Amino acid sequence: MSKLFYPVVTVLILAGSAFTLVAPQNWQIGQGYSISFSSSDADGIFKDLKGSVVFDEQNPAAGKFDVVVDVASINTGNGLQNKHAKSDEWFDAAKYPTIHFISRSIAKSGNGYQVTGDLDMHGVKRMVTIPFTFSRSAQGGTFAGSFMVNRNDYKIGKPGGDVGEQIKIDISVPVTKS
Amino acid sequence: MFKKSLALGIVSGLMAGIAGIVYARVYYQINESDFSRVVSAVKIIAASLVGGVLAAIGYALLNKWLKNNGEIVFNLCFTLISFASLLAPIAVTLPKTIDTPELFPGLVIPMHFFPALGWYTLKPVFIRGK
């Protein structure tokens, strides 16, 4: 029994360290992130983003994104438009204070990656796929992605009108190792 | 007439600009919202001066064309134009990096009345009643 003890412990330690080596990296959302939206007649940004980001370029499938955007942090550059955007006619920030995205899967795609997950916005949860890139830097890296959503799918605003139904979302999130 | 109205326009424009800068400082102290990147002191002075000079040109022309009614029409136009110009700060889209655009009209709207206020206040000094 004593002869087996040390080999078994060694194997367990090696096996454990192997798992540690392949565990995906936890990233902390850094300053200077940008979440902007634009359509034919409206554009703006969301200023507050929180969440957890787990991602490894070598093993994207093990990654996980869980991020929340504060709807009240919307900024179109115009006070009246901000008020209007937060009203029940559009985002209804009082009733639906956050936009929540949780990933289901992340996969390599061409030169970048794509994440598929649930986008919960304005009380409507829909699956979306977001293509993104990750550029690594000395201290961390930057996620950048761009995708389209149809605001009618989320019952935001009335169909038609001046504001385009297809909204382009551009995301750039610098991260640091946590 | 034009020289006097031009002098009035320049002086009242400068006074309006100084009042605007003082008001902007007070506004910043009260609300802690800094719009100096959009509305700098130079821009306040320049805009007020332009307002004063345009008023001077308008005053001289209206008094030339309308004789006795020129002053009445000018005062009415100056006040109406000042009111109409309020639409600009309400409708303007500021850079997204400015956190509180809803406080911007509160800063700029009073300034739109300063040139007219300066003109009406200083007019008796430069142009005596007929």
**All residues at 6 or more sequence positions from B1 whose CB lies less than 8 Å from its CB, including other chains:** B60, B63, B64, B127
Q: What is the CA radius of gyration of chain B?
A: 16
Q: Is A58 a member of any domain?
A: yes
pLDDT for A12: 62
Q: Tell whether B86 is within 8 A of chain A (Cβ).
A: no
Contact A124, A3 (CB under 8 A): no
Contact A79 B103 (CB under 8 A): yes
Query: CA-CA distance, B26 to B32, in Å (whole number)?
Result: 10
Range(s) of the domain holding residue A139: 24-177
Answer yes or no: do A79 and B104 touch at CB < 8 A.
yes
Amino acid at B35: F
Query: What is the C-alpha to C-alpha distance for residues B25 and B21, in angstroms, rounded to an integer?
Result: 6
Assign B56 to helix, strand or coil: helix
A121 and A96 Cβ atoms separated by less than 8 Å:
yes
Residue type, B110: P
List phi, psi (to 5°) of A129: -120, 125
pLDDT > 90? residue B101: yes
Among all residues of chain B, which has the CA nearest to that of A76? B96
**Residue A47 contacts B, CB cutoff 8 Å:** yes
ipTM score for this prediction: 0.81
Whether A84 has its CB under 8 Å from any CB of chain B: the answer is: no
Domain contains A19: no
- Predicted local distance difference test score (pLDDT) of residue A145: 96
Specify which residues A102 forms β-bridges with: A66, A118
pLDDT tens, N- to C-terminus, chain A (178 residues): 566 677 776 666 655 555 445 568 899 999 999 999 999 888 999 999 999 999 999 999 999 999 999 999 999 999 999 999 999 999 999 999 999 999 999 999 999 999 999 999 999 999 999 999 999 988 899 999 999 999 999 999 988 888 889 999 999 999 998 8
Q: Tell which B residues from 66 to 85 touch A, by Cβ distance under 8 Å.
A: none
Per-residue model confidence (pLDDT) at position B122: 96
A44–B95: do the CB atoms touch at under 8 Å?
no
Question: Could you give the number of structural domains in chain B?
Answer: 1
Residue of chain A whose Cα is closest to the Cα of B92 = A78
Selecting from A44, A45, A79 the residue whose C-beta is nearest the C-beta of B105 gives: A79
Mean pLDDT across B5-32: 96
Cα–Cα distance for residue pair A104/A57, rounded to 1 Å: 17
Smallest CA–CA distance from B105 into chain A, residue: A79
Q: Concatenate the DSSP letters of all residues of A70-127 into one string.
A: EGGGEE-S-HHHHHHHHSTTTT-TTT--EEEEEEEEEEEETTEEEEEEEEEETTEEEE
Residue range B50-64, pLDDT digits in tens = 999 999 999 999 999
Q: Which domain holds residue B74?
A: 2-126
| Total domains, chain A | 1
A5 belongs to a structural domain: no
- Distance set, CA A54 to CA A32, B16, B32 (Å): 19, 57, 37
- Residue with tokens 């969301």, as numbered in its chain: A46
Query: Which CATH number fits the domain that encloses residue A173?
Result: 2.40.128.110
Distance CA B108, CA B113 (A): 9
Distance CA B114, CA B58 (A): 17
The kind and range of the H/E element at B54 are helix B41-66
Residues of A in contact with B93 (CB under 8 A): 76-78, 81
* Structure token pair of residue A103: 């990933």
